[in-house]
Amino acid sequence: MKKYLLYFVPAFCLIAASCSSMLEEESYTEIGRDNYVNNATEAETVLLGVYKNMVSDYTYSYHLSLLFTISTDIAQCEGSSNTNFREIPTNSHNPATDEIANTWAKLYSAIYDANSFIETVSERIDGWGDTNRELGTIYLGEARALRALFYFELVRWYGNIVLIKSTAESKLPATEYVQADPAEVYAFIEEDLKYAAEVLPWAVDDTLRSSTAYRFSKGSALGLLAKVYCTWAGYPLRDESKWAEAAAVARRVVESGKHRLIPDYETVWYNTCNGIWDAGESLIEVSFYSPTGLDTDVTAGRIGKWNGVVADAVEGIRGRNAANWKVVYTFTREWEAQNDPRMALSIADYKYDSSVSSGPVTYFSTVSSPSETNYNRQRQLFTPGKWDTEKYVQSANAIANNDKSNINWYILRYSDVLLLFAEALNESGGSIVDAVDAVNAVRRRGFGDMSHDLSYGLSRDALREAIRKERAYELCFEGHRKQDLIRWGIYYDTVIETAQELVDWYSSANYAVRNYIIRGRHELLPIPLRDLDLMTKCNQNPGWGQ
């Protein structure tokens, strides 16, 4: 995550030739287990290698942050075709698509690293001194939280996966692998996160680790567990008993007093663009920040480049921002009616064009012949504004690279936990008052006052709709919306409804995902073909053939 992760010496997974591609990724922990990890200092070095899996293109640098999460009712990919990088955003991918196989492989490699660390430290920790044991226990909590996160991504994206609990199981012939019941995977994730929440300190109380920045804490483990429970309660498993458990663990975070919303919403984005860690709001964040330059091969991300504000290249000053994420205009139109200050910070109706101005240029100002048709064409060019490199990134950290940035990525913010708390309370029949209070805390920060508070008199159905809308506004473009729509069981219907709304607004509106989406197929990614060919006891996901 931070640059010191580069000090770790990587090696390749030395597994028999029968190893499937799910384990043919780099391993950051195979560095001589027999003569290393003899104390907490050495253990931390290896642990940072487990964290390092988060900064890969195949995880949060690109795939799990930007590529897999697009194409919903609020955002879509640039262009009207399904070629090149548009294949996954338009849902025209297939089991042989490389990006799908690469993320599958990287997540299993990351799990191997976590398993290796957990096994090694568990074997040796009893022989360490008191302080080393205390730190070692915290490090075990971090590793198990990381393993839980990697499995959570696997099970919610790929569904019917192989559950590998040890390095020994990783080395089995691929022909021996069988798919686990997803409920078993969720139970394994739950066990890891409960352990982590038990042994990890709150970030603000931690006096043992030299730094807690971008590291798992009690709050991040509990917050992630709440998100896991809400996903488990939804489609496709629909174990509604998990709503009450989600409410209970989220309540622990909310009532702990250890986390809080940053008072100014814009500061959230200034912070993540400049590597400023705030443990109050940021529960899980991937750090790509390096003010001395970009390591384009290992630790840099694509945040603000692929999903930011359009910008042309200026020699020696800035690189080009492709800005391949485009805001679905019907979302902009709906949000405009709310008079929400967050909208101007979240949606950019401007770009940076050095041939016209040194500052932002609104899309409407580029229209030479004013007409509603011409304005509608420009409205389709709006982009996310949260990661505006020109607005937020300090001049001392100029990004001259055309593809990569050192802007961080939020996986879980406190506002997300508040909204999950409200949702879980509402769905489990819990306190309406507490649920509305949680939503209003988010809205008051967004609006700056209490004038837009939700009413305590809302029905549960009305509150459900209000929470879903609030998640779209507060968390827009942060990688949550697609998985939200999937777990709510409305992904396909929402895409179809959005397509019709767009046509009703502007007959030439672009929304390519409508042309390829299939109900019952695109709620999960396919199992990668190259792995399925080796794993002869495993079956393809529904809708994807064998």
In a 3-state reduction of DSSP, which class is residue 76? strand
How far lies 315's CA from each of 303, 358, 413, in Å? 21, 13, 35
- 494/332 Cα distance (integer angstroms): 16
Is 200-287+414-479 the same fold as 1-13+22-194+511-546? yes
Instruction: Record the pTM.
Output: 0.94
Contact 199, 138 (CB under 8 A): yes
For residue range 521-536, what is the model confidence (pLDDT) as tens digits? 999 999 999 999 999 9
Which among 254, 236, 52 has a CA at the least distance from the CA of 142? 52
Residue 498 has what pLDDT? 98
Taking the alpha carbons at both ends of the chain, their separation in whole angstroms is 38
Whole-number pLDDT of residue 507: 95
Task: Give, for 326, the enclosing helix (H) or strand (E).
Answer: strand 325-327
pLDDT at residue 396, rounded to an integer: 63
Q: For domain 1-13+22-194+511-546, give the CATH number.
A: 1.25.40.890
The C-alpha angle 265, 271, 273, rounded to 5 degrees, equals 115
**Rounded-to-integer distance, Cα 414 and Cα 408, Å:** 16
Distance CA(119)–CA(135), nearest Å, equals 16
For the domain made up of 200-287+414-479, give the CATH fold: 1.25.40
**pLDDT tens per residue, range 21-77:** 454 545 555 555 567 899 999 999 999 999 999 999 999 999 999 999 999 999 999
Share of the chain above pLDDT 70, in %: 91
| Res 272: pLDDT | 96
Task: Tell me what pLDDT residue 18 has.
Answer: 34
Decide if 525 contacts 100 (C-beta within 8 A): yes
The pLDDT assigned to 315 comes to 87
Q: Where are the domains of the chain?
A: 1-13+22-194+511-546, 200-287+414-479, 325-407
- φ/ψ of 384, rounded to 5, equals -60, 145
Q: Which residues, given as ranges, of the chain have pLDDT below 70? A: 1-34, 291-298, 396-398, 546
Q: What is the pLDDT of residue 140?
A: 98
- Give the whole-angstrom CA distance, residue 317 versus residue 319: 7
Check residue 33 and give its pLDDT: 58
Measured distance CA(182)–CA(404) in Å, rounded: 35
Give dist(CA 364, CA 378) in Å, integer.
7
Per the CB < 8 A criterion, the answer to whether 531 and 21 are in contact is yes
Confidence at residue 141, expressed as pLDDT on a 0 to 100 scale: 98
